[in-house]
């Protein structure tokens, strides 16, 4: 995964396309262009005997340039960053800020691709992709673009999900002041939640939740444990980023089901394996503390 900063200063996580998938997409596009060139040559060859050779050569050069440069430019401009190869592999070209690729950017990529692939056999593209952390070839560097994967990866780890009891409250959160450092600390805490002892879970959670609450309003409802509070904040932040990114890409996110009424106690962070159960006598539930306006109110 990689992060792009949109024009609204919103950090959005995207999945950068890997080199094998990009290489296969390029091979498909080059093969398509080669087939088109062969077909054009066969069609024009039928008229070579009845037309002027200079005219034949001029038309052939014009159509060749149109196929080699116009093919990627037209496809990426009209299909929002997809050529046939990228469509087959689930890839897309976007701007460095996550916006849809523009005609100017597609033109830069097409001109650079003529040099990289057809004149220099792909060597500059390979070297630039290996050097760049985002796998950019020269065309991407000149155009200010990046190739991402549209296909969602399989969920292999813990997923930060919205606690159902806090879904309604989270929609009213003001998150514009939340710094990335605080959000990253909360994300790392949730990722290691089940690896911590109960005392460390509580103490570290209260400390991180208090730091996050300094930039988030309104205050958490009474009795919300730290892990549930942080899960709600991060899940809502990610949901809003996905909505902004989808609006820029011209796609529509599936509608979310309305949150149900709060019910039941707060469990561990959603998506995490349950901890080992221990047999113990139930302890009386403590009285929930009152929320402090403008800050996080940890449970006692």
Give the pLDDT confidence of 45-99 residue by residue, as tens digits.
Answer: 887 777 778 888 888 899 999 999 999 999 999 988 999 999 999 999 988 877 8
Which of the pair, 269 or 125, is modelled with greater confidence? Answer: 125
Is it the case that residue 10 has pLDDT exceeding 70? no
- Is the separation of the CB atoms in 223 and 288 below 8 Å? yes
> How do 2-5 and 11-14 pair as beta strands?
antiparallel
Helix (H) / strand (E) containing 126: helix 123-131
Q: What does the alpha-carbon distance between residue 10 and residue 175 come to, in Å, rounded to a whole number? A: 11
Q: How confident is the model at residue 145 (pLDDT cuts 50, 70, 90)?
A: very high
- Is the separation of the CB atoms in 295 and 219 below 8 Å? yes
Q: How confident is the model at residue 141 (pLDDT cuts 50, 70, 90)?
A: very high
* pTM for the full predicted model: 0.54
- Is the separation of the CB atoms in 125 and 117 below 8 Å? yes
Inter-CA distances, 55 with 47, 52, 60, 65, 66, Å = 11, 5, 8, 16, 16
Which of the pair, 50 or 102, is modelled with greater confidence? Answer: 102
Give the pLDDT confidence of 173-202 residue by residue, as tens digits.
Answer: 999 889 888 888 888 888 888 878 888 888
Which of the pair, 204 or 7, is modelled with greater confidence? Answer: 204
What is the average pLDDT across 220-237?
A: 89
Most confident residue range from 59-63, 98-102, 279-283: 59-63
pLDDT of residue 50: 72
Task: Of 97, 67, 62, give the one whose Cα is nearest residue 84.
Answer: 67
Summary mean pLDDT of the chain: 79
Most confident residue range from 76-85, 188-197, 252-261, 284-293: 76-85
Q: How confident is the model at residue 159 (pLDDT cuts 50, 70, 90)?
A: low
Is it the case that residue 257 has pLDDT exceeding 50? no
Percentage of the chain beyond pLDDT 70 is 75
pLDDT of residue 276: 38
Query: Helix (H) and strand (E) counts for the chain?
Result: 11, 4
Task: Of 253, 240, 239, 245, give the one whose Cα is nearest residue 4.
Answer: 245
Q: How confident is the model at residue 161 (pLDDT cuts 50, 70, 90)?
A: confident
Is it the case that residue 156 has pLDDT exceeding 50? no
């Amino acid at each position: 995964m990689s992060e792009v900063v949109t024009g609204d200063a919103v950090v959005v996580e995207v999945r950068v396309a890997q080199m094998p998938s990009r290489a296969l997409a390029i091979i498909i596009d080059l093969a398509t262009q080669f087939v088109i060139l062969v077909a054009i040559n066969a069609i024009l060859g039928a008229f070579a005997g009845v037309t002027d050779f200079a005219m034949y050569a001029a038309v052939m050069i014009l159509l060749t340039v149109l196929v080699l440069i116009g093919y990627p430019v037209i496809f990426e401009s009209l299909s929002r960053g997809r050529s046939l190869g990228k469509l087959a592999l689930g890839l897309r070209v976007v701007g460095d800020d996550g916006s849809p690729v523009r005609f100017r950017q597609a033109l830069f990529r097409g001109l650079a691709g003529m040099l990289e692939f057809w004149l220099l056999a792909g060597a500059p593209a390979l070297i630039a992709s290996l050097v760049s952390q985002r796998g950019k070839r020269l065309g991407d560097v000149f155009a200010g673009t990046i190739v991402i994967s549209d296909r969602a990866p399989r969920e292999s780890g813990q997923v930060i999900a919205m606690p159902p009891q806090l879904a309604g409250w989270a929609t009213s959160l003001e998150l514009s002041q939340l710094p990335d450092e605080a959000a990253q600390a909360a994300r790392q805490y949730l990722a290691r939640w089940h690896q911590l002892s109960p005392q460390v879970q509580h103490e570290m959670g209260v400390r991180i939740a208090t730091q996050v609450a300094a930039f988030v309003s309104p205050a958490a409802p009474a009795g919300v444990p730290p892990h549930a509070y942080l899960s709600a904040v991060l899940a809502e932040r990610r949901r809003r980023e996905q909505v902004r990114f989808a609006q820029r890409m011209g796609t529509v996110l599936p509608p979310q089901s309305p949150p149900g009424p709060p019910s039941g106690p707060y469990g561990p962070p959603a998506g995490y394996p349950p901890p080992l159960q221990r047999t113990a006598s139930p302890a009386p539930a403590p009285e929930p503390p009152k929320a402090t306006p403008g800050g996080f109110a940890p449970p006692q």
